[in-house]
């Protein structure tokens, strides 16, 4: 009987098991937005699995970017970033965003890691939309788009529960057809963190069903470990 040798040596097989396991359960970066009051909003940069719960506390020096864009389009650096620890190495980075102008603000954070013999390169991008009123329509553009970006085509402040939020996925400025996953504050599952899945078309456009008010997160990923998130609030 002819014997067939294993085309994948044990060492390589073990590598792929570890590699795929690590990437399949990779963490995402997102921005929680607290209550808007006294002309400011407190935001929390979270590195974790289940929105909006805190997970691994990242240090301030790991942030590659942390800025916000005001309604008039000016880019401002986030100042006075502080760490909030909840124990067991968990927590988030907190900061206050001044809301001095009426309209919509965009908050952006990112972390990047170079590849090495022990770890793959990683890029995590997070974006949050904050609106001071429900009549806000335009969203100020970013001075430079993240490498992977989820771009809302309508202002989430103007939509109501029961409709879809149209978004466009861009990778290096070009439309990307990929899967997007969505969830909302109040949903939790140890086996499935995203109850909603949609796919963007060849133009990068997808429609995310939003069936309830509250805080939402949309996530997508590309290549080995590049991911982007968009967080926003849907009003009653």
* 103-133 confidence digits (pLDDT tens): 999 999 999 988 888 888 999 999 999 999 8
Predicted pLDDT at 7: 44
Pairwise CA distance, residues 171 & 150, whole Å: 9
Q: Could you tell me if 112 and 64 are in contact, meaning their C-beta atoms sit under 8 angstroms apart?
A: yes
Do 146 and 108 touch, CB atoms closer than 8 A?
Answer: yes
Whose tokens are 């997102």? That residue is: 30
Residue 6 burial (CB < 10 Å; 0-12/13-18/19+)?
A: exposed
Would you say residue 15 lies in a domain? no
> What is residue 26's predicted lDDT score, i.e. its pLDDT?
67
Residue-wise pLDDT for 58-96, tens only, equals: 999 999 999 999 999 999 999 999 999 998 889 999 999
Measured between alpha carbons, how far apart are the two ends of the chain, in Å?
A: 70
Q: Is 50 a member of any domain? A: yes
Core vs surface per residue 131-151: b (16+ CB within 10 A) or e: bbeeebeebbebeeebbbbbb
Count up the domains in the chain and report the number. 1
All residues at 6 or more sequence positions from 134 whose CB lies less than 8 Å from its CB, including other chains: 157, 158, 235
Q: Can you tell me the distance from the alpha carbon of 233 to that of 57, in angstroms, rounded to the nearest whole number?
A: 24
21-57 tens-digit pLDDT? 343 346 899 999 998 888 999 999 999 989 999 999 9
Domain for residue 81, yes or no? yes
- Chain position carrying tokens 């009549």: 135
109 CA to centre of own chain: 9
CA 180 to chain CA centroid, Å, is 11
Q: What whole-number distance in Å separates Cα of residue 62 and Cα of residue 72?
A: 29
Q: What is the CATH number of the domain that holds 184?
A: 2.60.40.10
For residue 68, CA distances in Å to 31, 51, 79, 118 come to 12, 21, 10, 34
Q: How far is CA 57 from CA 121, 188, 218, in A?
A: 19, 20, 21
Query: Token digits for 188?
Result: 């939790």
What's the residue count for the chain? 236
Would you say residue 17 lies in a domain?
A: no
Q: Is 132 part of any domain?
A: yes
Residue 194 belongs to a domain:
yes
Query: Per-residue pLDDT for 135 more than 90?
Result: no
- Give pLDDT tens digits for 152-208: 999 999 999 999 999 999 999 999 999 999 999 999 887 888 999 999 999 999 999
Which helix (H) or strand (E) segment holds residue 205: the answer is: strand 205-210
Cα R_g (the chain), whole angstroms: 19
Question: Which structural domain range is residue 118 located in?
Answer: 30-229
pLDDT higher than threshold 70 for residue 20: no
Query: Which pair of structure tokens corresponds to residue 38?
Result: 């006294």
Position 143 in a domain = yes
Identify whether 166 is part of a domain.
yes
pTM value?
Answer: 0.87
């Amino acid at each position: 009987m002819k014997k067939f040798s294993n085309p994948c040596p044990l060492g390589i097989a073990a590598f792929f098991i570890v590699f795929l396991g690590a990437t399949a359960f990779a963490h995402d970066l997102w921005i929680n937005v607290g209550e808007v009051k006294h002309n400011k909003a407190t935001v929390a940069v979270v590195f974790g699995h289940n929105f909006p719960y805190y997970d691994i506390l990242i240090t301030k020096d790991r942030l590659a970017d942390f800025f916000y864009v005001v309604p008039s389009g000016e880019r401002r650096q986030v100042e006075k970033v502080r760490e909030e620890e909840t124990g067991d190495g968990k927590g988030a980075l907190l900061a206050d965003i001044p809301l001095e102008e009426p309209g919509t603000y965009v908050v952006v954070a990112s972390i990047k890691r170079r590849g090495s013999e022990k770890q793959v390169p990683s890029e995590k991008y997070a974006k949050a939309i904050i609106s001071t009123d429900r009549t806000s329509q335009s969203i100020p553009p970013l001075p430079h788009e993240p490498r992977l970006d989820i771009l809302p085509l309508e202002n989430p402040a103007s939509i109501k529960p029961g409709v879809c939020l149209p978004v466009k996925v861009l990778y290096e400025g070009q439309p990307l057809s990929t899967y997007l996953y969505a969830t909302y504050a109040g949903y939790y599952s140890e086996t499935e963190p995203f109850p909603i899945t949609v796919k963007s078309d060849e133009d990068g456009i997808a429609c995310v069903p939003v069936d309830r008010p509250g805080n939402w997160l949309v996530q997508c990923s590309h290549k080995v470990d590049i991911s982007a998130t968009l967080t926003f609030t849907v009003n009653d």
